[in-house]
Structure 1
Amino acid sequence: MNPRIQRAVALLDIGRPEAALELLVEVLAAEPDNVDATAYAASAALRMKRYPRAAEFARATLRVSPDHQFALRVLALAANELGNHAEAETAARRAVTLGPDTAVNHLAAAVVLREISSDQALAAIDQAIMLDPNSSAAHQVRGSILLRRRRLGRLLPGPASESFRTALRLDPENAEAAHNLALHQLHSHHWLRATRGFLRAGAMDPGLADLVRHNVGVVLRMALVTLQFLAFAVSFALLVFGTATPASNDVGGTDVVTPAGRMIGMAGVLGVLAVFAWVYRALPRGQRRVVWSVLRSRTASLVQVALLLAMAVLIGVAVATGSALPAALALLLGVFAGIVQWWIRAYAARARR
């Protein structure tokens, strides 16, 4: 093999695809039909997420060597990312046909089939794991297929979290497995674990930064909506079970808060504050900064926090003064917060279309 190609392969092995691709392009300028150079150039471009270029290099390899399994895998993965599912499936199945005993061929096929048929994808990934049970990537892909089936409401042949944990046990630096495990925890409403997992994945792979920030924002939104609902429930319970008319208390004016109402209000406010304090202490200091940065960058979340704090303050005022009016205002504010949340979700749904 050309010494420069060997250096490029070494650069790929240490995670420097940009330098590897630059070196391989120099080789191809002198030897345009060098199969090794085009194949590794395709791999380098794929790792850099330059999918059109990866597909172009892979096709160049296959024009010279039609049965090149490595190039077929790269073409399958690149075409899949570009949305060319027919070409991706054809390349993946061709690689499996040429190398049925090669685990990575079945792995590539599973990634492609994941978008087409989860049943076929599971069959392919199970074959890959049978051929190479110590492949962290294979277990990660299996977990992602199961997670997708869960979101679609399909029955699971096995828990996705188990596959992700196996992938991380085999390779503790598998950022994609860490991220997908956090995504599974998010769907299971384990929000603190999900936040930690997303931030851990972002620390492993800076390339996931935008996705991590988005998902941390989703966790924040869900958590704040839940706290707003709890504050609404507290204000409703306070008004229904913890107030009395002036006639029953010999007090003129508006309804007043009874001792039972004060207990309900105090428990609610202290509960919200306790949740904030617990989450703050549970997150490592470095992760707190990231969460705060995400919160500050999301106007909708800042509005949610402001509404939640306003509701808590109004409930606190009702408890302190004995007047039911602030609790009624907190209830109305909860209704307004629900309307705002509905509008935000509707706007986001329209933006995705």
Structure 2
Amino acid sequence: MSEKIEKALILTELGRFEAARELLAEVLASEPEEALALARMADLCRQLGEYERALEFSASALRVTPDSIYVWRVRALSEFRLGLATSGEVSAGHRARAVEAARHAVELDPSSVDSLRVQATTQWDTDSTAALKLLDRALELDPDNVRVHVLRGLIFRWQRRGSDALARAEAAFREALRLEPEHSQALYELALITLVRGDLRTGTQQLRRVAELDPEYGDQVREQLERVDALSNSRTTRWAARVVDSQNKRRSGGFRFGRFAAIFVAIALIRGVAAGCSNDSPSPAHDYQYPTPPRIPSEFLHPPTFQPLPPDWRSNFPQLTIVTPVPPPPR
């Protein structure tokens, strides 16, 4: 690997994308078919949201190294993001090409957990059955893969219907948290499930924990807390109205005691429930509804690392371990 490419990788890890792009452009200006530079430029464009450019660079990289698993995954994720950003036949075309590129990566290495996960990501909302089968295979290879557990939970929560879907989603998120206790996406989804089950107090605590762990969830957490607060006030109003109505019905001769008792109970309910649902008993689950549309976490859009292959660099690239941030997907 050239010094400039190595430096570009470091800059990418630090989030200095434009500086990394300048270095890669310098390499490609002198060596237009430098496979590693083309691959990294493709992924850099993807991270910057320039998905069409990412496809252009990935196509150039595949002309040099047609069996690069990494590049096929970058291409799959770029097509996937374009599919999310468009609609109609255009979106369907991108989504189909995303699945095909991911499938090709799996064919090149059927034992790659990362490739299985990427293909499942491209199908998570269009063919959940196929996506779950891919994730089951991935867990056979790597039972402790947190991303696989979280994606599995998302599919059960958002895409599956049935009496056990919510329980299976919850189990997947809890397993992810067992493996990585501060995984913000798993905790956020678990908080929503807790709210759906009617336990507003615990769900609120979990949401606040998410905001502490990951500031990027700040807006989402605030939105959910506002919904919980509105729901709490609505419940309080309904309960107070029922108490007053009950007391009114029990008054037969205009007894003042009944009226005062009703007012006292109503005030107590308002203070108790509006304070944040401090009652430990869960409330009816159907009151809280999941936010829509579903959000696929940005971490699932990372193309995994380069694959180790024989010394012939044209067959693939040497293994690299790169963890880089990506912008969140569109809602």
Query: After TM superposition, is the score higher than 0.5?
Result: yes
Closer/same/farther in 2, CA of residues 272 and 27 from structure 1, 3 Å limit? same
Match of 2:152 in 1: 142
Provide the C-alpha distance between the structure 2 equivalents of 1:51 and 1:214, rounded to a whole number of angstroms. 30
Letter in 2 for 1:137: R
Gaps of 5+ in 2: 84-93, 281-288, 294-331
Q: 2 CA distance for matches of 1:86 and 1:108?
A: 14
TM-score (ref. length: structure 1): 0.66
Amino acid at match of 1:5: I
Among 97, 118, 126, the alignment partner of 1:116 is 126
Partner of 1:268: 266
- Per the alignment, do residues 278 and 209 of structure 1 end up closer, same or farther by CA in structure 2, a change over 3 Å counting? closer
> SS of 1:78's equivalent?
helix
1:231-271 deviation per Cα after TM superposition (whole angstroms, max 9, x unaligned): 33223223223x34xxx3xxxxxxx4542443343223212
Match of 2:98 in 1: 88
Contact 1:143 1:163 in 2 (8 A): yes
Instruction: Specify the alignment match of 1:70 in structure 2.
Output: 70
* CA distance in structure 1 between the aligned counterparts of 2:190 and 2:67, rounded to whole angstroms: 36
**Structure 1 gap ranges (5+):** 249-255, 283-344
Change over 3 Å in CA distance of 1:220–1:26 after alignment to 2:
same
Distance (Å, rounded) in 1 between the aligned partners of 2:137 and 2:6: 31
What is the identity, as a one-letter code, of the residue corresponding to 1:233?
R
Give CA-to-partner distance per residue, 1:274-326, whole Å, 9 cap, x none: 223355899xxxxxxxxxxxxxxxxxxxxxxxxxxxxxxxxxxxxxxxxxxxx
Amino acid at match of 2:181: P
Greater RCO structure (CA 8 Å; 6+ sep): 2
User: Contact between 1:28 and 1:34, CA under 8 Å: does it hold in 2?
Assistant: no
Note if 1:191 corresponds to 2:203: no
Aligned counterparts of 1:170 and 1:131: Cα–Cα separation in 2:
16
Higher share of residues assigned helix = 1
Mapped to 2, the partners of 1:47 and 1:154 lie a distance apart of: 38
The question of whether the paired residues in 2 share the 8 Å contact of 1:168 and 1:174 is answered with yes
Matches within 5 A, 1:31-50: 31=28, 32-47=32-47
CA RMSD of superposed structures (Å): 3.2
TM (norm. structure 2) is 0.70
Corresponding pairs, count = 270
SS state at 1:272 partner: helix
**CA deviation string 1:70-127 (max 9, x = no partner):** 1222222232233231121111111111111000111111111111111111111111
In structure 1, what is the equivalent of residue 223 of structure 2? 214
CA distance 1:25–1:173, change in 2 (3 Å): farther
Displacement after TM superposition at 1:157 (Å): 9.2
Name the larger-Rg structure.
1
